[in-house]
Amino acid sequence: MRYYKIIENGYLVGIGTGVGGIKITEEEYNSLLEHIHNRPDAEEGYGYRLKEDLTWELYELPIVPEEEISSDELMTMIEEVL
Amino acid sequence: MANEYSVNQADLTSVANAIREKTKGSNPLAFPDGFAEAIASIGGLPGNITHLATGTYTFAGDTVDNTAITHDLGVQPHFFMFVKQGSFSANSSKKRMIFQFYVSKSIGNYAGSLIKGYFSSTSGTTTGAVIETGNTTGFKKPDTSVFYVSGRSSNDTTYISGDTFTWICGRCSSF
């Protein structure tokens, strides 16, 4: 299996398996996954970005409007697709 | 003069059984027209899957917009599937992953559209929905080598980091 990481603007934004990204070893993948799973808890309204040097950077989360839809609307959309 | 052949009943029945297995039918088939009609009725998918790629992806940070995930199909995908691996990580009561895909041909009302949806987990309940179609602002449609995912966090304590998804995308021959 091929393992990779994706770095954008000095931040590690994700890791994965498959093609693409920067190829890494399974050991590095597992190490990064463990590091990601040990992300510190942020207080409400704040999140963390993982810098390329694997230090966590606290930042204020952007406001994202709720985009919930009703179950009836979802069923209508599914029926239209099917 | 046409060639004539003889065949025993057991062999003919085995062929009929094979046809019935495909058609999910149980009625007797008259030879030859009934056989021919039953075979002609055997449908299938709109086309064969000609390209298929799969992988996994784990969000590292809490907010990621339009990260390019490589599929390397060499053609624009027709379909996507995202499957969450395990439960959402426990560092939040609510989180969301935005996904998007591009319908290159007509499916219902979604002809030539980007479709944006999400998986979310609120207090342990995982849901998913299509939330927007059409030319969704700020989202990029997949091309012949990559598609895009966005992990969204907001100020309502929504985190995406640490969540791993398996993805599958592909293309059909006559879709």
Residue B152 in this model has a pLDDT that exceeds 80 = no
In chain A, the residue whose alpha carbon lies closest to the alpha carbon of B55 is: A18
Q: Is A54 on the interface with B (CB under 8 A)?
A: no
The alpha carbon dihedral of B12, B13, B14, B15 has a sign of: positive
Mean pLDDT, chain B, whole residue set? 69
Q: Is A1 on the interface with B (CB under 8 A)?
A: no
| CB-CB neighbors (< 8 A) of A39 in chain B | 91, 161-162
Alpha-carbon gap, residue B145 to B71, rounded angstroms:
5
Q: Is A50 on the interface with B (CB under 8 A)?
A: yes
Helix H or strand E segment including A6: strand A3-8
Q: How far is B39 from chain A (nearest CA, A)?
A: 25
pLDDT value for A25 = 97
pLDDT value for B6 = 81
In tens, the pLDDT along A23-50 reads 999 999 999 999 998 888 878 778 888 9
Q: How far is B11 from chain A (nearest CA, A)?
A: 40
pLDDT value for B97 = 55
pLDDT value for B175 = 54
| CB-CB neighbors (< 8 A) of B64 in chain A | 13-14
Is ipTM strictly over 0.85? no
Q: Is the Cβ pair B67, A13 closer than 8 Å?
A: yes
pLDDT value for A26 = 96
pTM of the model: 0.63
Name the residue with higher pLDDT: B7 or A71.
B7
- Residue A32 CB-density burial (10 A; 0-12 exposed, 13-18 middle, 19+ buried): buried
In tens, the pLDDT along A58-80 reads 988 766 555 555 556 556 655 55
Q: How far is A53 from chain B (nearest CA, A)?
A: 13
The pLDDT > 90 percentage for chain B reads 5
Task: Find the CB nearest A45 among B60, B91, B155.
Answer: B155
Alpha-carbon gap, residue B6 to B11, rounded angstroms:
11
Task: Find the CB nearest A13 among B64, B89, B131.
Answer: B64
pLDDT value for A51 = 94
Q: Which of the 8 DSSP states describes residue A82?
A: -
Residue B106 in this model has a pLDDT that exceeds 50 = no
pLDDT value for B157 = 41
The amino acid at residue B142 is P
